[in-house]
Amino acid sequence: MFLTVQRVSRMIERVFKASALNIAIQDGTDAGQSVPHVHAHIIPRNSGDMDHRGGKDAIYGMMESEEGDLGRQFQEHEGYGGQKRAKFPAVDADENRKPRSDEEMMREAEWLAQEIEREYSGGKQ
């Protein structure tokens, strides 16, 4: 898992021109896990990128927002629900975040899949 995180991280830094990353690994509901398997969030960061949202720690509220609620989406897809989503420690909410459509997220996922392929086929730029 950590080798995959490392590989994806290099691609994310290159593609998004990031100077740093937040990597959050969640394994278990008490750790904020929203999907029933261990997974990692890899978030590109740059100096001052969250200043307009209250500072560096605003990222935790963003991960906890409706758009970041993959567990709810999974439960709806599988036909069960009613479970409360695990939460990160409370931080200021991001009022300006706009939900993206499934189509937008699919295009982004396809683009990133192509970029990770470039990363390991010698096509780096």
| pLDDT tens digits for range 40-55 | 888 899 999 989 888 8
How many residues appear in the chain? 125
Which of the residues 37, 39, 41, 52 is marked catalytic? 39
**Would you state the pLDDT for residue 83?**
54
Q: Which domains does the chain have, with CATH numbers?
A: 2-120 (3.30.428)
Under the banding of pLDDT at 50, 70 and 90, the label for residue 69 is low
pTM, two decimals, is: 0.51
Please enumerate in sequence order all residues whose Cβ is within 8 A of that of 67, keeping only pairs 6 or more positions apart, or say none: 97, 99, 100
**Would you state the pLDDT for residue 31?**
74
Under the banding of pLDDT at 50, 70 and 90, the label for residue 30 is confident
39 given a catalytic annotation = yes
**Would you state the pLDDT for residue 68?**
54
**Would you state the pLDDT for residue 71?**
61
Q: Are 119 and 11 in contact (CB under 8 A)?
A: yes
